A = this chain, B = another copy of it.
Amino acid sequence: MTTIYDSRYVIIVEQLKRVRVEKKVTQRTLAGLLGQQQSYVAKVEGGERRLDILELFDWLKALRADPLIFLREIGWVAQERPGNIPALPLPGHVEEVHGGLNLIMAWQGEKKIVFLQDAKPHDYLIVEKEITAIFQELNNHKSKTMNREAICKAFQLAFELLPAVNPSDVYHHIVYRLYLREYTKTNAEQSWVRAGGEAVELFVARHYADRLAANGIEIKALLSRGEKAAALAEMGLAGTVGDSKLDISLYGVIERKRYIFGGIHCKASFAERVSDDVPCSEAMMRSGLTSLLFTFDAKSFPPPAGDLINRGELGTHENPSDKRRYIEEHGSFDACFCYNLRSVPSKKKTTSGKRIYVCKFDEDDVLPQKVIEAWQQYKVKHKL
């Protein structure tokens, strides 16, 4: 019959006793310091008498124990980790500079500046305010919005109001960092991993839906394990690769009949994780299906060593990373669409013939063009 309150109080009492014993203070001595009888200390340590907050602090003071350290030991206050506060944008704080704006971040009480090219303070401030409100709403216990929906909404808003800005910077410096700043319900970094990753898939499917529908193509985010497995089964790949290795499926529609002709793998950033998707992608390509890779290629190095500039991980032609080689040399995907304007696109000719395209979400975006082409080719090949 332990209530939460009781359990919390038990920890306090046990730790108070431990501190006293460690400091080799007897119950009698402590009682003397507190101006009380020994029975007072015994009753408190026996859980018979509860301390109010002021009594607790007097108690700790008498033991010469640091209250903050004590609160950490009982898990009420996080361990002090001087380095665990990531760089976060200061609320409403930007400065207009030539060609864009400087986003002012605080990191460990130091000021860090990130330049956002082609961003106007007025637009940024609207974006920050709206996204802040969206994410704060998630902390509300009555909020019915799912985290991935909220983040997807934040992407849509930010890309619409800041169309000229490097999309990967919007992802990484605005939406991601505002989520870290505002989301407090659970561990924000890990929640971002879960919800931010799915939000990218949702965003991609929604952003291109109309453009592709106009060309007889249906794009579908595969959010559940069941949907993923079903899509892989439709492709004839059930059981040959892991069942959960595709993010978005692409269907061509002819007279209400749907033909699955490809899919899109989504990765916010690469790290070593792109190799997860390679076996599924290669299996898709062997089955004559189009396998595309969407990525923000977001990667910056944080302070103190790094400069926070989001250079991505694809490297250059002269000095390619393994990730670039997966596309250009091994041809493990039919194409990679990268939304980090600092990333270096492939040359027209590559070893495998497959290319990295670098785009913004504008009329020159090649992703929908390539999807439409792939469907045309599928129709020709299968005489549809």
Binding site for B on A (CB under 8 A): 4, 7-8, 10-11, 14-15, 18, 22, 73-76, 78-86, 88, 90-93, 104, 106-111, 180-181, 184-189, 242-245, 272-273, 275-276, 278-279, 322
Chain B residues, CB < 8 A from A276: 272-273, 275-276
Q: Give which listed residue, B108, B186, B275, contacts A84 with CB less than 8 A.
A: B186
B8 touches A110 (CB 8 A): yes
In angstroms, how far is the closest chain B Cβ from the Cβ of A366?
A: 27
Q: Which residue, A8, A79, A88, A278, has most C-beta atoms of chain B within 10 A?
A: A79
Which residue in B104, B187, B272 is a CB contact (below 8 Å) of A244?
B272
CA distance A311 to B51 in the complex (A): 39
Given A111-B11, A275-B242, A78:B75 Cβ within 8 A: no
Copies of the polypeptide in the assembly: 2
Task: Tell me how far the C-beta of A37 lies from the nearest C-beta in chain B, rounded to whole angstroms.
Answer: 28
Instruction: Identify A80's interface contact among B81, B82, B106, B184, CB under 8 A.
Output: B184
Task: Tell me the complex Cα distance, A22–B328, Å.
Answer: 52
Instruction: Jot down 19 A-B pairs with beta carbons below 8 A, ordered by A.
Output: A4-B110, A8-B110, A11-B106, A11-B109, A14-B93, A75-B88, A75-B108, A75-B109, A75-B110, A76-B109, A78-B85, A79-B181, A79-B188, A82-B185, A83-B184, A84-B187, A244-B272, A273-B276, A275-B279
Partner of A106, one of B75, B81, B188: B75
Of A10, A85, A185, A279, which is in contact with the most chain B CB atoms at under 10 Å from its CB? A85
Interface of A is mostly: mixed
Contacts of A4 in B (CB 8 A): 110
Complex Cα–Cα for A109 and B8 (A): 5
**Pair A84/B188 contact, Cβ less than 8 Å:** yes
For A10, the chain B residues whose CB sits under 8 A away are: 111
Residues of B within 8 A of A273 (CB): 273, 276
In the bound complex, residues from chain B placing their C-beta under 8 Å from that of A243 are 322
- In the bound complex, how far is the Cα of B277 from the Cα of A272, in angstroms? 10
In addition to A8-B110, A74-B109, 5 A-B residue pairs with Cβ atoms within 8 Å of each other are A8-B111, A11-B109, A242-B272, A242-B275, A242-B322
User: Which residue on chain B has the smallest CB distance to residue A240?
Assistant: B330
In the complex the two chains form, what is the Cα distance from A109 to B186 in whole Å? 15
Residue ID in chain B nearest A329 by CB atoms: B239
Tell me whether A78 and B74 are in contact in the complex, defined as CB-CB below 8 angstroms, given that A244-B322, A278-B279 are known contacts. Answer: no
Q: How far is the CB of A282 from chain B (nearest CB, A)?
A: 9
Identity of the chain B residue whose Cβ is nearest the Cβ of A242 in the assembled complex: B322
Q: How far, in angstroms, from A244 to B321 measured CA to CA in the complex?
A: 12
Q: Which residues of B contact A74 (CB under 8 A)?
A: 90, 106, 109
Cα(A275)–Cα(B78), bound, Å: 35
Specify the chain B residue showing the minimal Cβ separation from A75. B106
Residue of B nearest to A19 (CB): B91
